[in-house]
A and B are shown apart, each in its own frame.
Chain A
Amino acid sequence: AQTVTQSQPEMSVQEAETVTLSCTYDTSENNYYLFWYKQPPSRQMILVIRQEAYKQQNATENRFSVNFQKAAKSFSLKISDSQLGDTAMYFCAFMKDTGNQFYFGTGTSLTVIP
């Protein structure tokens, strides 16, 4: 079974600063996909970024980037220039290449302080 661990239940960051959310996972698979989803107070689940395990280059989407360390099974999310709208619950998710389901971490609640 795959497990996803987010060791930071809560974090806070000052507006305009940078914050990094950590995620580790356990798998024996070689090909898989990793995701970060954001859930603001509206509760809508929004895809932030995704990473294919076979790609060495770290994914980036505007202010969001990941640090993917395959050997260490680590997949952290960096948010630069934090904005108030980044306040949300962030979930890390894993999916096997041959699978059909996500395995979610327990989430990190991020608060951006004005």
Chain B
Amino acid sequence: DTAVSQTPKYLVTQMGNDKSIKCEQNLGHDTMYWYKQDSKKFLKIMFSYNNKELIINETVPNRFSPKSPDKAHLNLHINSLELGDSAVYFCASRSRGAYEQYFGPGTRLTVT
């Protein structure tokens, strides 16, 4: 039973395309996150949702749009993909009252 799952795990696409990455958690957690890990392995938060409400929206291009249809899902849609968007994107979740985050397996996005 996968706790935090992401699809797809690998995504190769061309510049200018629009793509989505899906995330689901079956832990019953209230808060979900999207992180970007660049080629130097640096992890940077992008967005966070708590019970479908956006609570963190870091300075990312507005080509990135998160969507949370319910508290178990947080999807990331990216418009007009650019070369610099190539990275590994991680979804994570956290329970209310707890502080550790549980991460998905990551999605390696390659823009050519």
Residues of A within 8 A of B (CB): 33, 35, 37, 39, 42-47, 50, 89, 91, 95, 100-102, 104, 106-107
Whose C-beta in chain B lies nearest to the C-beta of A32? B99
In the assembled complex, B45 has its CB within 8 A of some CB on chain A: yes
Contact of A89 among B33, B41, B50, B56 (CB under 8 A): B41
Name the prevailing secondary structure of the B interface residues: strand
Name B105's contact: one of A44, A50, A91, A101 (CB within 8 Å): A44
Q: State the Cβ distance, B9 to closest chain A Cβ, in Å.
A: 9
A104 and B55 in contact, given A43-B105, A44-B106, A50-B100 (Cβ under 8 angstroms): no
Q: Is the interface of A mostly helix, strand, loop or mixed?
A: strand
Residues of A within 8 A of B43 (CB): 91, 102, 104
- Count, chain B residues at interface, CB 8 A: 23
Min C-beta distance of B74 to chain A, whole Å: 14
B73-112 CB contact bits vs A (8 Å, 1 = yes)? 0000000000000001010100000011111011010000
* B88 x A100 contact (CB < 8 A): no
Residue of B nearest to A106 (CB): B42
Most B CB within 10 A of own CB, among A35, A37, A101: A101
Given contacts A33-B99, A43-B88, A44-B105, whether A104 and B33 have CB atoms under 8 Å apart is no
